[in-house]
Structure 1
């Protein structure tokens, strides 16, 4: 696999296309996108290896393509459904122009427009290694029709666009859940590869929703202990399955939560520090500036 230090991470689909020229440039004004594959990829292409910090859902009606997740390579065929989640090393190749849809969404969008506890209802989104699902005509047409409806509403730019699109997207997710849980290869991957990682992500999410979060609660050892695992083994599993260390998962989640609180609330920075488990506000400020590049106060003013 490529040198991780040279691999770029993208927070949204438009960044990938603009930076690496792997498809037609797109304008992205929200954390949710939907595009026809034959429009954004109108010729064969091979992407670089990258890390996407968003969820992707792909419907392949026809054409020839493949995608990689870490060291695994998967091929698509007509009526293929697959999705990928944040954190992995990825790439894709279009060998023959593909007709279908690509839908992307950030975690923040899912929590804001689908549900604050979206991973309780859609725990399959946390599965680390998802093989493609090959659907029969009826099931695929149902998802394809939903994607066409979502795209039509997304392009209207109406005042109720977000509510309508998110409602249709929820139906899409429910259908994906229904189909995946009936797919034998997905069930094997879900049960075997993702137990520890899924639980870690759920525990991490729960920790930040706790009213009594303490600094020790965010130690890797605490999450390992919660699953009755040795910290060294736990860390190896998380790193192996996701490509990111458990400590980095905790740091990134802390930064994400801090940014949300700073930008979407008027809560004093001192109080935010305590909410995120820091013993001293100065420790929080140093931590935030180290990973975000600016102080909490500067970030809020921006």
Structure 2
């Protein structure tokens, strides 16, 4: 059975790469100065951002592989699994790495904003690919953080390090928006297939057997993480995939109310609701009337 290591501290992260620890809770490493590391899988307790400058070993994230190419960024959050698919092999790191413990930003505006950086929950084949110009800007952010860590600590140090981490993440957010735009054809194709999959889920009787469809169910169909899939659908439609599913559900419910004389309960069970009153509540919320009121009005 493969052994999974726990990555618990910044000091451990630095020691594995043969680099000095300048601060116990945050580090920025120029990986050209790192030593070889042993390829293992690990459960991270840190936030980590890797900027890879050239092709290297494929890195696992969860059950999938990041599609490393030149100038690629990947993001790992606490309690996420990562590592390499070459057990016991020796890997030569390259590029840059930022790692920080959640305690470093605890109680700050950045800590509250971390949940908005959805790319920390993205999965395989969802890495961020940047242009040479974009890479240059990101390298400046890494270097500014590194400069502050090498600078004598004063009352401004932590604030400046955190503001530069935030700037780095904000640029990454911008570049992900650009990446979504440059992949619009692929995204529209996924949206079309998403709609087909929703209809198939109900038409095939899957809803009656498995219950209401979830975002995770459809994300898995397209081999995407729920976070990436959610951002993709929202960008294309302006609403979350959960809202999109609910809207389709309401449309189907309306069709059933007109098409046959079955009870609301029978229709609710066929659509995947565990309890009929859940359909009534959702319908009232979306349409403004109960299913029975809607039937009587039409």
Q: TM-score range by the shorter chain?
A: 0.5 to 0.7
Say whether the 8 Å CA contact 1:128–1:197 is kept in structure 2. Answer: no
Q: 1:74 to 1:172 in 2, by over 3 A?
A: same
Q: Distance in 2 between matches of 1:131 and 1:104?
A: 20
Choose 149-158 or 25-34, whichever is displaced more.
Answer: 25-34
Shift of residue 46, structure 1, vs aligned partner: 3.5
Say whether the 8 Å CA contact 2:121–2:227 is kept in structure 1. Answer: no
Aligned to 1:81: 73
Aligned to 1:65: 57
Q: Distance in 1 between matches of 2:229 and 2:126?
A: 17
Aligned to 1:7: 4
Shift of residue 100, structure 1, vs aligned partner: 1.8
Q: Distance in 2 between matches of 1:67 and 1:171?
A: 25
Aligned to 1:178: 174
SS of aligned partner of 1:146? helix
Q: RMSD in angstroms over aligned alpha carbons? A: 3.7
Q: 1:139 to 1:95 in 2, by over 3 A?
A: farther
1:71-98 deviations in Å (ceiling 9; x for gaps): 2123423211111122233213797745
Gaps in structure 2 of 5+ consecutive residues = 191-214, 220-224, 231-271, 275-298
Say whether the 8 Å CA contact 2:67–2:126 is kept in structure 1. Answer: no
SS of aligned partner of 1:64? coil
Q: 1:110 to 1:178 in 2, by over 3 A?
A: farther
Given candidates 14, 31, 40, the residue that maps to 1:37 is 31
Say whether the 8 Å CA contact 1:65–1:75 is kept in structure 2. Answer: no
Q: 1:195 to 1:62 in 2, by over 3 A?
A: closer
Q: 1:95 to 1:126 in 2, by over 3 A?
A: same
Q: Distance in 2 between matches of 1:90 and 1:141?
A: 26
SS of aligned partner of 2:23? coil
Q: Distance in 2 between matches of 1:95 and 1:142?
A: 30
Shift of residue 177, structure 1, vs aligned partner: 1.0
Q: 1:57 to 1:109 in 2, by over 3 A?
A: same
So what's the TM-score if we normalise by structure 1? 0.53
Q: In the alignment, does 2:102 pair up with 1:107?
A: yes
Q: 1:39 to 1:112 in 2, by over 3 A?
A: farther
Say whether the 8 Å CA contact 1:12–1:54 is kept in structure 2. Answer: yes
Aligned to 1:149: 144
Say whether the 8 Å CA contact 2:25–2:101 is kept in structure 1. Answer: yes
Q: 1:91 to 1:124 in 2, by over 3 A?
A: closer
1:97-150 deviations in Å (ceiling 9; x for gaps): 454210012233334344342235434334455722221111111101111111
